Amino acid sequence: MPRHVKRNFMDRVIDSIELLAAVFVGIVAADIFISVLLRYFFSVSIPDGYDFGRLLLGILIFWGIAATSYRGTHITVDLVWGAVGPRYKRLIDIFATLVLLFVVTVQTVMLFDKVRGTFADHVLTYDLGLPTWPFFAVAWAGDVSAVVLIAIRTYRLIFHPDLVAPRHQAEADE
């Protein structure tokens, strides 16, 4: 999109969520790199390095769902979609996005139960005894962001399809 085009609120929300997802990719990569470096050269491990890696990877997965859900760049099977005309492609996209919205919304509710459970049970990391619920809460926030982005995508597919980039354009941009 050209720089001179004014971004609306929804576009800024989308960009912010995608930026946060990218930050979590960087954090996970740095954690892995530093852990390997310390272990290989100094025979030292980060206390709770395994727990941090595992919990950060969970955060990355849920924020990754948020980042890929709006753009439609997640894995898809387009056998039928590719064989129909533009009108039916749009209907298939709307139906698939509504199903995705339902599934991710249910997943978000269930993940909140996990956050609540780890908080109530006082689940701690092994070495440092740090509470794990904040990691689950950040992952849950990523899932909430995914629901928001999928809802925005659904709204735009139904009412403003010109604001949603076609699949072939999204693939070409990468």
pLDDT tier for residue 162 given thresholds of 50, 70 and 90: confident
77 φψ region: left (φ > 0), alpha (ψ -120 to 50), beta (else): beta
For residues 62 and 60, what is the distance between their CA atoms, to the nearest angstrom? 6
pLDDT digits 0-9 by tens, 47-76:
998 899 899 999 989 988 888 887 766 666
Two structure tokens written together for 17 = 């969520």
The dihedral sign for the CA sequence 162, 95, 68, 133: positive
Does 33 score more than 80 pLDDT?
yes
Two structure tokens written together for 141 = 């926030």
Task: For the chain, give percent helix, strand, coil, nearest 5.
Answer: 75, 0, 25
With beta carbons less than 8 A apart as the criterion, state whether 38 and 112 touch: no
Does 29 score more than 80 pLDDT?
yes
Report residue 52 CA to chain centroid gap: 19
For residues 49 and 169, what is the distance between their CA atoms, to the nearest angstrom? 40
Report residue 20 CA to chain centroid gap: 9
pLDDT tier for residue 172 given thresholds of 50, 70 and 90: very low
Our CA angle for 89, 21, 147, nearest 5°, is 50
pLDDT digits 0-9 by tens, 67-109:
888 776 666 667 788 888 988 988 988 998 999 999 999 999 9
